Structure 1
């Protein structure tokens, strides 16, 4: 594949750093969504995570509605809604309403992971009805049908039928994407003829096999006649490689703590992360950081742009969704995402 500049999109976990309130973190993400819209980026997705001190993206539909109201043309969506935590009808109704509010601009990315620890997973699924992972393929199909103007038909063992619509009179429907980092998600997306996104920003392995399975097993559907996919990547760009490495450090240390099963806390500032690394060196943590640094795209703007183009060409995709994980220095505004906005600026320069 010829190496050309891929279309760019954004994945936002709404990071929360030291001294920052949830309100300030969300305000900074709304500003970043507006900035991405002004830069001409393709889409802006919010993740779903629960009970994490450094992540305020807990309810994607609420954040999508807020971002859609503040932007003009960029697609907004979920990356993704963790379906085992939710009743399919509720998800369908939420995204049908979002589609009515922002016609032609809504993406419904659906995932299968819990997005949290076992305790929070239990609290999310106390009714016992939403966590049936074995029914995940059927639930995806149900949502895809319910958001259409004709709705879905529920058939009972007695032979009776019951019609279900996510909204009374749909004039359009959100685009459904299946998300994952395993063979299972790739094969399911292929079998149902859905667009597919491999979560490369946290998986690290299995990318080539998943893409091959998706493309080779894809079955055309009413909504998609050929495989459609893009990839995610953790990215930090800055005017210099030194600044990029510094701004990457808070998120690298946070992910190392997570993978080392250490207690989570709000993201450090760059200054805090540098002091912590210098004053309390940890060999195991450093090993994890070094491994992640090899997979993330960190560097001066032109270097990262070139790396993104090469990454897209290598895997045969024409869009990359970046998770701009640049941290903040002490003194930078709490209601703005200075480093993350800078990353986006440099990617489109």
Structure 2
């Protein structure tokens, strides 16, 4: 099966690495993805996490647009409960004007952090506005459209609002999720849908089935459109690929076991400090869902997975770790994954 490949980037920060170095390596990576033939490159939104420098997708998308020529760029995603719909609409309408026809706006319902950060982002209390997510999605769509939105006052009268003065086109809006809720909402609104398999693999078949069966054609799309994400690590040998998987696998295990998060360890650090029993068990569980190995093996597994789920695109989170000896402003393991996988599939 022929599949398209895309990239999801959290801009990981490893031991001894600064945010500037992590961002430099990601900008080099998106430039490489552009040349290698990847379809799209999305930046995630996470806050107050020592291992993640992807806090502001619009800023990173703008920087990536200046480094690329044809690849689609987007958010994977903007966590809408954290932001006013008008701000999101303005940011992505501006990005669309900067890189016409290349901008995706992926929207998520989770806050992407803890209640304290949620309060600092929206200043509406310790809970996010997730319950208003369906309406806010529609608000963003309307605000970015050439027609704009109309505010109707209870006392009478209206007020026209546009995310940009004269929109020639709007970004493609995608809904992201790992539950039935987002799948059903995307179907009801006639929007594309992405299942976040890279961190939540359970329920993927049910969610995709609900989306396809419930899809209502809209002015945006006349048929269902979806893809899936996956953690992928490719190296010239299986042994190297397995080693490069260790730092992120242990980071996931720390997250699942509610241990304090830290910068992502190097491979050398993980090998020098074996995991405890709980971490090891969680790492083994997560390992079963990841695609790790030599190029041909991973290419075959990804193709089979995409065919089973019924999609023609997979967005990879290139989760390869780094060795101590590797330059801080580079990400050889992630770049190697993109190059080897492109050689096998694209």
Measured against the shorter chain, the TM-score band is: over 0.9
Tell me by how many angstroms 1:5 deviates.
Answer: 2.6
User: SS where residue 159 of structure 2 aligns?
Assistant: strand
Does residue 48 of the first structure (1) align with residue 40 of the second (2)? Answer: no
State the partner residue of 2:198: 201
Q: Which runs of 5+ in 1 are unaligned?
A: none
User: SS where residue 11 of structure 1 aligns?
Assistant: strand
User: SS where residue 243 of structure 2 aligns?
Assistant: helix
Show the 5 A alignment for 1:116-127: 116-127=113-124
State the partner residue of 2:310: 316
Tell me by how many angstroms 1:300 deviates.
Answer: 0.8
Paired residue for 2:178, among 178, 181, 203?
181
State the partner residue of 1:298: 292
Show the 5 A alignment for 1:98-177: 98-128=95-125, 131-177=128-174
Residues 242-272 of structure 1, C-alpha deviation per residue, up to 9 Å, x if partnerless? 0000000000001100110000110111111
State the partner residue of 2:342: 348
Instruction: For 1:182 and 1:140, locate their aligned partners in 2 and report how far apart those are by CA, in whole Å.
Output: 17
Paired residue for 2:90, among 87, 93, 107?
93
Instruction: For 2:312 and 2:14, locate their aligned partners in 1 and report how far apart those are by CA, in whole Å.
Output: 33
User: SS where residue 201 of structure 1 aligns?
Assistant: coil
State the partner residue of 2:237: 240
Q: Which runs of 5+ in 2 are unaligned?
A: none
In 1, are the aligned partners of 2:78 and 2:106 still within 8 Å (CA)? yes
Does residue 272 of the first structure (1) align with residue 269 of the second (2)? Answer: yes
Tell me by how many angstroms 1:161 deviates.
Answer: 1.9
Q: How large is the RMSD of aligned CA atoms in angstroms?
A: 1.2
Does residue 333 of the first structure (1) align with residue 320 of the second (2)? Answer: no
User: SS where residue 69 of structure 1 aligns?
Assistant: helix
User: SS where residue 234 of structure 2 aligns?
Assistant: strand
User: SS where residue 326 of structure 2 aligns?
Assistant: coil
Residues 9-36 of structure 1, C-alpha deviation per residue, up to 9 Å, x if partnerless? 0000000001100000000000000000
Q: How many residues align?
A: 343
In 2, are the aligned partners of 1:9 and 1:43 still within 8 Å (CA)? yes
Residues 158-184 of structure 1, C-alpha deviation per residue, up to 9 Å, x if partnerless? 342221100001111100000000000
Superposition TM-score, scaled by structure 1 size: 0.96
Instruction: For 1:20 and 1:329, locate their aligned partners in 2 and report how far apart those are by CA, in whole Å.
Output: 12
Superposition TM-score, scaled by structure 2 size: 0.97
